[in-house]
Structure formats: structure tokens, C-alpha cells
Amino acid sequence: MYLITHRLTLRELVEHDWQAVLAYQSKPDYLRLQTWEERTEQDVQAFIQQFITWQQEQPRTKFQFAITLSAKPQQLIGICGIRKETVDSQEADVGYEIDPSFWGHGYATETARKLLAFGFDELQLHRIWAWTLLDNVASSRVLEKLGMQREGQLRQNRWIKGRWRDLVIYGILRDEWAAR
């Protein structure tokens, strides 16, 4: 499966993608927002294998994609996904992560916009939601640009790098998306 944007191709993950994912998940800018202190080959291989396993589920409820530059389709710059809890669920969560070397170019917004369109148009969802750390201002801006509304804050919900962090929840409904 492929989802195409103006500058990006979102494609199914394959086993050898672990090397590119490990390369960016090992960068200090990436790690500062994660619960883990480091990533190993085994960690990332298992991470990618989980997503490949999801591809085999029928009916499918979880879609996780490699984000690649359309001009350089072999260059993986991140991963993203949209996930329903159950087959009958009318809502899903979206998430994305971009290699820090590619931050600030609008790729996260372009990726998330395509995931929302896929969720509402193809999966026929009623609601799509996402979470981000309160201190991840850039990610909050991405979600707000897409018309997602801040729905709540989970105080001291994640232990990251020696302290509790707040999560912010965003959501958008089908009719809000259609009105944009």
C-alpha cells in the first residue's frame, strides 16, 4: 500500500528499514522526547517486525508506514501510522516521527494530513486523535495546523528522562475535517 503526497511517499515497512530507523532513533534530538535512553539493533528490528506483522492481519486495523521522499524513494525519513483499537471502531489514533535531520520542512504536517485523509476517506472513521508531550511544541503546532482541537491534558502521565511529563490529547471529527 502506498499513500502519496506532493513531496512524500508513505509505504509499507519492510525488514531492512530497521537500519534507517535505528540511525535516526539514535540521535540525541530524537531520544530526548522518548522514554528509552538508547536504541539497539534488536530493539529496532523488533519494533519494525511488529509493524510488518500488522500488515498480515485481516481485517486490518493498524497501518504503519515508512515516510520517504518522493524524489528519493529509498531515503526513509521517518515512520507514521494510523491505528484502530478494533475492527468495528469508528476512531483511530495517528502518530508520526521524523528524523531530526528533516525537522522544520513541513514533512510531519504533510504526513499527518495524508493520514487524516486516509482515515476519514478510506477507513470511514468518525474521529481521529493524537497525543504529544506538552513540551513538544512543534508537534502540537502540526496537529493544530490540521484543525485538530486540544481535548485535554494528562498530567504527569509519562516518566521520561528522570521526570514526569504531561501529555496533550488532540482530536478531530469527520465533519470538522470535511469543513476545512
pLDDT tens for 70-119 read 988 789 999 999 999 999 999 999 999 999 999 999 999 999 999 999 99
* CATH value at residue 10: 3.40.630.30
Confidence of residue 137 (pLDDT cuts 50, 70, 90): very high
pLDDT at residue 16, rounded to an integer = 95
Higher pLDDT, 69 or 180: 69
Q: What is the mean pLDDT of the chain?
A: 95
- pLDDT band for 36, please (50, 70, 90 cuts): confident
Task: Please count the structural domains in the chain.
Answer: 1
Q: Which of 19, 6, 69 is nearest to 47 (CA)?
A: 19
The yes-or-no verdict on residue 58 having pLDDT over 90 is yes
pLDDT at residue 21 above 90? yes
Residue 111's pLDDT is: 98
Residue for grid cell 531492512 = 16
What's the pLDDT score for residue 171? 98
Whole-structure pTM value: 0.94
| CA dihedral for 151, 54, 138, 173, sign (positive or negative) | negative
Strand order in the sheet with 127-133: 2-4, 8-12, 62-69, 72-84, 91-98, 127-133, 163-173, 149-160
What pLDDT does residue 69 have?
96
User: Is 167:143 a contact under the CB 8 Å cutoff?
Assistant: no
**What's the domain range around 101?**
2-179
Evaluate if residue 38 carries a pLDDT over 90.
no
